[in-house]
Chain A
Amino acid sequence: MTASPINAAGTAPDSSQAPAALSIRNAVMELGDGDTKVTALDKVSLDVAAGEFVAIAGPSGSGKSSLLAVAGALTTPDSGTVTINGQDLSQLSKGKRAAFRLTNIGFVFQSGNLIPALTAADQLRLVNLLAGGPRSFDPHALLESVGMAHRAANRPGQLSGGERQRIGIARALVTGAKLLLVDEPTAALDRARSREVVELLARQSREHGVATVMVTHDHDVLGYCDRVLEMVDGRLAAPAAVTA
């Protein structure tokens, strides 16, 4: 148990050399109206470099999901800019944003969230098909890399939570996206499975040079991350100390 130094919030360790895969500048987002108005994002800035694995921790309602929605081009902030791989998202229409997500962003959702009707291999094939990928696409190499090749013909109902999450990770990597956004990947898993899944994420982001942002409130897995940020009341800050 050693306290490791953490860089200042919003600054990637080597942002001067590599261009950031994800760059959020002064994002502000408010939800609700009148009395129920909540500031979900309060001038949030964040840079994530290629190959970097960033965790965002924080209590529920702190704005983590809003940050993910903004970073994932699912919604646009009220003010501020979001740039992914050099593309300013505010310049894209709703339809263009969907197409942009398809090839530039990989999503890993809670408990995998696979399509119930599809086998593991078909989950990957569908994304390849949607993205207009090569006809020769073979999902088995990717499934192999997450250790799920033997489950290729199984549907989600026949898989455990950890297996579903691994296939979800493989699905997020199909289009070769350079930004991976991960939403509470360990919410439905026990400790051992949680560690395995996060370790897999860390390895995949390093191997593929993918910038990964993981939202979690599972402090147990933060040790696998290059950088840990804490979200409180819509503001992003480095926590005082994190166990590594």
Chain B
Amino acid sequence: MFLALRELLFARGRFGLMGGVIALIAVLMVMLSGLSSGLVNDGVSGLKSMPVTSFAFDQGTKTDNAFSRSVVDEQQLAAWRGQEGVAAAGMMGVGMANATTDNGKQVDLTLFGVEPGSFLEPERSEGAALGDTDGIVVSSTAKAEGIHLGTVVTLDRIDTKLRVVGFTEGQATFGHVDVAYLPLKTWQLISSGKAAAGTPAESQLSALDFKTASVVAVQAGAGTKPDLAAGDAAAGTSSKSLSAAFNASPGYEAETMTLSMIQVFLYAICALVVGAFFTVWTIQRKHEIAILRAIGASTGYLLRDGVVQAAILLVGFTGLGVAAGVGLGAAMPDAMPFALEATPIAIATALTMGLGLIGAAVAIVRISRINPLDALGGQR
């Protein structure tokens, strides 16, 4: 520590420049982490917030956009309800809709049709539960679009009118579009294409002969793990766990893979840049280290000193960068899908420090190859 600290202070210009690069990498890390959390939330928070362990899609459904493509019927639901370890199962309809609010604003909604009162009914932050044929519970993020309790949205083309009766607890979006929960019956009416203009009437619903939905949402009993393969065989479906089902939402896989790739590159750059810096730094100190080894400093002491130096640099400037990144992230405009979450930021911080340290350590090991004999003779 004695030498490490004094060298940090002595060569503060060089270490400051390196630290600046590390801090900027950390800022970028936080930004990417926030962006990727934000995109995930925008993409699948509607699914994440559901008390569901797996979704059963109709067999043979193409995996991307599977939610809006799949069609399941009541036999498949019944088969799933009979499976061992399944606490609850329910049909769920998923569809996209363009709509216009009563004050003329155009909005996009993802319609989630669920049985009112069932386990799929969303948690609400305000308003009433599902029940009325035209009552919808909308993601709380839709408030930013000027939607409030009592707003009537008219679905484009079919002119079906739906009324906002409640807001979900927190964000519920799917494929970057706000989710509107509505009764399964109403969803089926809209999907059937037979909906008349105006508020869906009770008579219309009871007359409807349309009994399918998009997927069967399955909730496992506490502490049990239903045999998905057996359930699929019995019901003629193909199941995905909740997190695997994220990939079946529009654009999700493409977005997360792109961001993951950038992050992986950034980690590699961090390790390489820090490694390159400490390689040059160690070469610059070659003669000095030869002197110290000739005097009798042990290799272990010199290696420890070098690693401690790198650790101080990395921890200090990564901390600085993360703090700056979090501050900057808080100032992000609402329109940007950005969410600062503690766990991914902590992981990104640890990885930046850890990989940087590995890069530095590889460079610092050079110290052990410096020959104390080089201390004799003139300075080279």
User: A110 to B379, Cβ gap below 8 A?
Assistant: yes
Chain A residues within an 8 Å CB radius of B373 = 69, 74-75
Given the known A-B contacts A65-B377, A109-B375, are A102 and B3 also in contact in the complex, defined by CB atoms under 8 Å? no
CB contacts (< 8 Å) of A101 on chain B: these are 294-296
User: By the criterion CB–CB under 8 Å, are B297 and A117 in contact?
Assistant: no
CA distance A189 to B372 in the complex (A): 24
Residues of the A chain whose Cβ atoms lie less than 8 Å from the Cβ of B298: 95, 98-99, 130
Query: Within A92-132, which residues are at the interface with B (CB < 8 Å)?
Result: 95, 98-103, 105, 107, 109-111, 113, 115-118, 122, 125-127, 129-131
Residues of A within 8 A of B3 (CB): 115, 117-118, 126
Give how many B residues have a beta carbon under 8 Å from the other chain's beta carbons.
26
| Distance between A184 CB and nearest chain B CB, rounded to angstroms | 8
Which residues does chain B contribute within 8 Å of A52, judged by CB atoms? none
- Choose among A69, A126, A129, A130 the residue that contacts B376 (Cβ–Cβ < 8 A): A69
Chain B residues 270-310 with CB under 8 Å of chain A are 287-288, 291-299, 301
Task: Please measure, in the bound complex, the distance between the C-alpha atom of A129 and the C-alpha atom of B301, giving whole angstroms.
Answer: 11
Which B residues are CB-close (under 8 A) to A184? 378
Determine the distance from Cα of A171 to Cα of B296 in the docked complex, in whole angstroms: 13
Task: Tell me whether chain B's interface is mostly helix, strand or loop, or mixed.
Answer: helix
Contact B287 A131 (CB under 8 A): no
Residues in A neighbouring B377, C-beta threshold 8 A: 65, 110, 183
Residues of B within 8 A of A155 (CB): 10
What residues of chain A have their CB less than 8 Å away from a CB belonging to chain B?
Answer: 65, 68-69, 72, 74-75, 95, 98-103, 105, 107, 109-111, 113, 115-118, 122, 125-127, 129-131, 155, 171, 183-184, 187
- 3 nearest A-B pairs in the assembled complex, by CB-CB distance: A102-B296, A117-B10, A101-B296
Sampled A-B contacts (30; CB under 8 Å): A65-B377, A72-B294, A74-B373, A98-B293, A99-B296, A99-B298, A100-B296, A101-B294, A101-B295, A105-B296, A107-B291, A107-B375, A109-B294, A111-B378, A111-B379, A115-B291, A115-B292, A116-B288, A117-B3, A117-B10, A118-B3, A118-B10, A122-B2, A122-B6, A126-B2, A127-B295, A129-B2, A130-B296, A130-B298, A187-B378
**Given A75-B373, A99-B298, A115-B288, 16 further pairs, Cβ under 8 A:** A65-B376, A74-B376, A95-B298, A95-B299, A98-B372, A101-B294, A105-B296, A109-B376, A113-B291, A115-B3, A117-B9, A118-B3, A126-B3, A130-B296, A155-B10, A183-B377
